[in-house]
Structure 1
Amino acid sequence: MKKLLVMLALPRQEIEAVLPDWTLVYPEGELFAQDELIDKVRDCEAIITVYGNKLSNAIIDAAPKLKMIANFGAGYDNIDVPYASSKGIVITNSPDPVTEPTAELAFGLMIGVARRMGEMNSRLRQMDVTWGVMRNLSTTLVGKRLGIIGMGAIGKAVARRAIASGMEVVYHNRNKVDSATQEALNVSYCSFDELLKTSDVVSLNMPLSPETKGMIGLEELKLMKSSAYLINTARGPVVKEQELIQALKTGEIAGAGLDVFENEPTIPDELLQMDNVYLIPHLGTATHETRGEMSTLVAENIKAFFSGQTPPNIINKEVLV
């Protein structure tokens, strides 16, 4: 019977339903300690890793039978892909279930920060609100321009929501989407600098890579309107966090909605104290439904590979050559 190590206590029922003949090695608590992982992984053929939780190369080295790493999440920067590939280990991710909930949350952050919902919720609970027709004013998104950086599946899903809510949408991507898709979404392409200069809201929806790490810093934030908002549901390190704090303090931008942070779970005190920053703890895909769908897809990737098929979400196809 093949053995699968699950790094974190993910929904078990969905995984067992797809892999009934496998032995599942689960942590007793929420997750394994590093020394436990090295001990438990020795005779495992596959590992389910989880975004935001580093899989060290020492763990890979401790698993001589390891043939597959199935990542729970779209992003896989928690895995040293070149190192695993050099050992002939197949890597997959689970992108499809994350699209709609992440886009939903990104749009929620836009509304939350522009309409001052987080600030007003906190102040109301502290009985620190003065009521009145011309008090507590905020900004509507209707008629505003949304600039999306990263027009993959999530970026497209954000665009659909924005258009339906009466916003204009422009985007910047490494490659333009095809004209039929642009027309269907009612979006237009513009340069990176133009997007920053003209957008009322900038939504970051790119993967984390050497090219995108630190992509948004003080120089880029200074290009934005002083009335604009930055939304990040991508990865924390795509933004230079201390430079964002500086820009918020000096009024270079009006505010930010952040689901991700540069050094999670640590959040700078300056961000925690700012009324114009809407903060949530990496909740992009955190719904009951999505967690179940992701668990099923991760298990289906494993089943496909060990059945002699190419997994639908393989990252490193070159190892199969």
Structure 2
Amino acid sequence: MSETIVVLDPMAPERADKLRALLPPGFVLTHGTARGDDHMKEIIAEAEYAIAGQVGVNAEVLKAAKKLKLLHKWGVGVDNLDTQTAKQLGIKVARTTGSNAVPVAEFTLGLMLSALRHISFGHAELKKGDWRGGRLPGDTFTLSGKTVGIVGFGAIGQNVAKLLKGFGCTILYSKRQPLSAAEEAELGVKHASLAELLAKSDVVSLHCPLTPETANMIDRSAFAAMKKTAVLINVARGGVVAENDLIEALRAKEIAGAAMDVFEIEPLPADSPLLGLDNLVVTPHLAAIASDNFAPTVKRMFDNIARVSRGEPVPERDSVV
């Protein structure tokens, strides 16, 4: 008798077929076809396992699940999942720790270069038929030799640091538990307080989880502490940055620019004032998406699901609750 895995995010049939090609024996896969809690309640009701990427899974959705054994995050950050309710209901929660570190780190580097050199602005203007040339919304800067501050220094942050070695950057990092001196020397990084990092960095790159401590951490006071020539990169979570404060800082040229792949509300509303800022690069939560990383990540999720099906524990590195 087969068990059902449901992907709660809306998904094109072609992508679902790629997932089905990787399914272990004894499982069938269904997926979302629309957004909203009502639809998720409907499709999760009879599933034994659920996978969530970017959609929020709240208590009401979880309570609609009659058979659910495991809720699996497609990625790392579980702030969009009600893990407390899952625990109360006896539903295990897992994730693929570190699985997207290289894709997100590479994407981060792309955003740095785009924000520093106004690549996206030039692309958009030329697509409209306007050869902007030197008529850019601000000064442009090289990445080479700059000071880069990395806020949050887990697998993604450390991969960003490795990629930046070739640019000869001075790399500061902010982390609750600093690395050992040997680890810092190997990566070529130096620990700094958040205040020191903001003041000294030409590029501030966010890679921390969204928690009560980090919510709105980058706010008006943080922008005031940054260099006027600095750029902010956010591939962490939208809620880490106070978006209204960012809009004010970019309009006033309090910082030179920013690049964001994540937002307080996703999908980003079409009337968001963020979309009208020439010194802001925006992408629709793409950082973790890489075709050559698809199969390894999916196989790992399916392996965790198969373990639970056999009555085995999820590996410690992937277990959340």
Cα distance change on mapping 1:272 and 1:17 into 2, 3 Å: closer
Q: Name the aligned partner's letter for residue 188 of structure 2.
A: N
Contact 1:144 1:168 in 2 (8 A): yes
Q: Spell out, residue by residue over 1:41-73, the C-alpha distance to the aligned partner (whole angstroms, 9 max, x if none).
A: 3332211122x2011222221223221111112
Contact 1:151 1:177 in 2 (8 A): no
Aligned equivalents of 2:131, 2:178: Cα separation in 1: 46
> Contact conserved, 1:110 with 1:231, CA < 8 A, in 2?
yes
Equivalent residue number for residue 183 of structure 2: 181
Partner Cα distance (1:237, 1:131) in 2: 35
Residue 284 of structure 1: how far off its partner (Å): 0.6
Aligned partner of 1:46: which letter?
Y
Q: How far apart are the structure 1 equivalents of 2:40 and 2:203?
A: 42
Q: RMSD value over aligned CA atoms? A: 2.3
Alpha-carbon deviation of 1:269?
Answer: 4.0
State the match for 1:319 in structure 2. Answer: none
Partner of 1:243: 245
Relative to structure 1, the CA distance from residue 177 to residue 121 in structure 2 (aligned partners, 3 Å threshold; closer, same or farther) is same
Report the counterpart of residue 128 of structure 1 in structure 2: 130
**TM-score of the two chains, using structure 2 as the length reference:** 0.90
Q: Shift of residue 130 of structure 1?
A: 5.3
Q: 1:124 to 1:26 in 2, by over 3 A?
A: closer
DSSP-derived class of the 2:228 partner: coil
User: What is residue 94 of structure 1 aligned with on the other side?
Assistant: 96
Q: Is the 8 A contact 2:138 2:256 kept in 1?
A: no
8 Å CA contact 1:18–1:303 kept in 2: the answer is no
- Of 287, 312, 315, the match for 2:320: 315
Aligned with 2:217 (options 215, 218, 230): 215
Which residue, out of 57, 64, 73, partners 1:71? 73
Over residues 78-125 of structure 1, what are the superposed CA-to-partner deviations in whole Å (9 max), with x where a residue is unaligned? Answer: 211111111221100123321111111111000001011111112233
Matched-pair contact (CA < 8 Å) for 1:197–1:224: yes
Alpha-carbon separation, structure 1, partners of 2:20 and 2:74 = 12
What is the CA–CA distance in structure 1 between the aligned matches of 2:205 and 2:99, rounded to whole Å? 20
Q: Tell me, what secondary structure is at the counterpart of 1:177?
A: coil
Q: Does 1:161 align with 2:163?
A: yes
Whole-Å separation in 2 of the counterparts to 1:307 and 1:130:
60
8 Å contact 2:98–2:156 — kept in the other structure? no
Gaps of 5+ in 1: 317-321
Shift of 1:315: 0.5
For 1:17, what is the secondary structure of its paired residue? coil
- What is the letter of the counterpart of residue 21 of structure 1? G
Alpha-carbon distance in structure 1 between the residues aligned to 2:71 and 2:26: 18
Equivalences for 1:153-302 in 2 at 5 Å?
Answer: 153-267=155-269, 269-302=272-305
Q: 2:44 aligns with which of 38, 41, 44?
A: 41
2:166 counterpart letter in structure 1: A
Deviation of 1:129 (Å): 3.3
CA distance in 1, matches of 2:129, 2:18: 44
Instruction: Tell me if the contact between 1:217 and 1:243 (Cα under 8 Å) persists in the aligned partners.
Output: yes
Identify which range, 278-287 or 142-151, moves more after superposition.
278-287
Tell me, yes or no, if the aligned pair for 1:49 and 1:72 is still in contact at 8 Å. Answer: yes
Q: 1:22 and 2:23 equivalent?
A: no
Distance 2:58 2:138 in 1: 48
Asked if 1 retains the 8 angstrom alpha-carbon contact of 2:69 and 2:90, the reply is yes
Rounded to whole Å, the distance in 1 between the matches of 2:81 and 2:133 is: 51
Residue 73 of structure 1 contacts residue 95 of structure 1 at CA under 8 Å; is this kept in 2?
yes
| Equivalent residue letter for 2:246 | L
CA deviation after TM superposition for structure 1 residue 16, in Å: 5.1
Aligned equivalents of 2:180, 2:76: Cα separation in 1 = 23
Cα distance, 1:11–1:178 mapped onto 2, change above 3 Å? farther
Confirm or deny: 8 A CA contact 1:11 1:295 kept in the other structure.
Answer: no
Cα displacement string for residues 126-178 of structure 1 (whole angstroms, at most 9, x for unaligned residues)? 3433547x999621111100000000000001111112222110100111122
**Matched length:** 313
How far residue 21 of structure 1 moved from its aligned partner, in angstroms, is 0.6
